[in-house]
Amino acid sequence: MHRRRLRPAIAALALIAGLLAPGVVTAPPAVAAPSGGKKVIANLFEWNWPSVASECASTLGPKGYGFVQVSPPQEHVRGNQWWVAYQPVSYRIESRKGTRAQFKSMVDTCHAAGVKVIVDAVVNHMSGQAGGGTGWAGSTYQHHVYPGIYQSQDFHYCGRNGNNDIVNYTDRYEVQNCELVNLSDLKTESDYVRSRLAAYLNDLLSLGVDGFRLDASKHMPAADIANIRSRLNRSAYIVQEVIYGAGEPITPNEYTGNGDVHEFRYGKDLARVFRSERLAYLRNFGEGWGHLPSGVSSVFVDNHDTQRDDGGVLTYRDRGIYALANAFMLAWPYGSPTVMSSYTFSSRDAGPPSDGNNKTLNTVCYSGWECEHRWPVIANMVGFRNATEGAGVSNWYDNGNNHIAFSRTGRGYLTINDEGSAINGRSYYTGLPAGRYCDIIHGTFTNGTCSGPVITVDANGWFAANIPAHDAIALHLNARLP
């Protein structure tokens, strides 16, 4: 029996006490990694536009997040489930999350806070409502007819399996020409469809958007995405959702010429190590595990799909161990990291907190919204990531089991003790300049002061500390006290 399955869900009491406290409030070229010195993305899943704007100004900007990923903004089918946002009925920027004017105001506010905006763009399909209906903003539609946008000739009808649905994921044609759970599959090889999708993305670019997460990219040939991207009016960061499947003919590597690709194996592997294996195995985590090359890999502990459909990942429910896994992700120089920010749910289909008309309510953190991006351990490690960008790994240490430590050469240091008992009476070689550093796992560095423990690194780069079970210490140059 795996030892971690025996421990309480809230394990590291000192860590959790801090974790739950509110935080401080021709073709344009593919952009193969988030630009600028601040690369961490916060995925504010299903937040409405006024709440995203407020969060950019109060938290994301001050904490050093470089990007915010927002949910699909186009008009969608009616309902409260989370997945209605992934069933477009038109490309009007009008949804349960807000109006076009609110969306534009959100983008401008985030930019003023130094945060770029990535839109979750649904371009593989339209709705899955066989009987049609009326969308959020009043547009009428049928399963394969969207007046003024698409008609029946603009969709695939693969005619397999007694219907048009995908069944066999080892058949490339079926995956890219049949319907994903009855969602009307756009004929993305068509010049008209390509031009219409590009027009939608260009409209978002005109509102100031900086990039796109392309939903269901696996269900479109990479060449179709490349053609649509070539029609964009300016460069934009692109990240594609391509879920790796063992033995499947469609692989994430096919899509790297278009931009970044989600590395779904990352979260599964990290969860397995933290739950039931040894942290010592993380010494070559990433490409050494057969993952995508770091420069084109988008990584996360969990996202909105995996936290619902994949019991093999860590989520907000794992509390302390989830915080530690995010701390590792933000400290380890592999891929471009995204921090998930969820709402509380017990049913897979449950939508975000909403009013009686299914309009998404303003976010109130820790009251129906988990706001993991604000948890002090995670939010403070964003600063660690920014301070150590571009530095390699050195001074790796492990005890062969679940105590690890490493430097981001000359700029930062992290040690994690995920053993079942404290590690006392030992010293750690950081390679950092001598000085007093804020331990950002347990305190926040602000205006030259630290709200938590201060660690003294001596003239030779060493410090001594005791580390409780399931806990950590993190230091970096930008949290060095005067």
Mean of pLDDT over the chain: 93
Predicted local confidence at residue 364, as pLDDT: 98
Residue 284 has pLDDT above 50, yes or no: yes
Question: Which pLDDT does position 35 carry in this prediction?
Answer: 63
Q: Indicate if 318 belongs to the active site.
A: no
254 is catalytic: no
Q: For 235-244, what is each residue's pLDDT tens digit?
A: 999 999 999 9
Residue pair 37/390 in contact by the 8 Å Cβ criterion: no
Q: What is the pLDDT of residues 36-50, one digit of tens each?
A: 689 999 999 999 999
- How large a percentage of the chain has pLDDT more than 90? 90
Cα separation, 43 vs 307, in Å, equals 13
* pLDDT-derived band at 29, boundaries 50, 70, 90: low
Q: What is the mean pLDDT of residues 49-72?
A: 98
Q: Look at residue 37 in the predicted model and tell me its pLDDT.
A: 82
pLDDT of residue 20: 36
Q: What is the pLDDT of residues 426-448, one digit of tens each?
A: 999 999 999 999 999 999 999 99
Task: Tell me the domains of the chain and their CATH numbers.
Answer: 3-388 (3.20.20.80), 393-479 (2.60.40.1180)
pLDDT tens-digit profile of 163-219?
Answer: 999 999 999 999 999 999 999 999 999 999 999 999 999 999 999 999 999 999 999
Question: What confidence score (pLDDT) does residue 380 get?
Answer: 98
Query: How confident is the model at residue 1, as a pLDDT?
Result: 34
Q: What's residue 62's pLDDT?
A: 98
Instruction: Give pLDDT, residue 184.
Output: 98
DSSP state of 335: S
The CA–CA distances, whole Å, from 408 to 272, 287, 328, 391, 479 equal 24, 18, 12, 5, 14
Task: Return the closest-CA partner of residue 395 out of 462, 467, 469.
Answer: 462
Catalytic residue among 241, 263, 318, 370: 241
Least confident of 126-135, 305-314, 359-368: 305-314
Q: Out of 174, 185, 215, 263, which one is annotated catalytic?
A: 215
CB 43 within 8 A of CB 304: yes
Q: Alpha-carbon distance 320 to 397, whole Å?
A: 22
Asked if pLDDT for residue 17 goes beyond 60, the answer is no
pLDDT tens digits, one per residue of 448-470: 999 999 999 999 999 999 999 99
Residue 31: band (very low, low, confident or very high) from pLDDT cuts 50, 70, 90 = low
Percent pLDDT > 70 in the chain is: 93
- What pLDDT is recorded for position 161? 85
- Residue 426 bridge partners (DSSP): 465
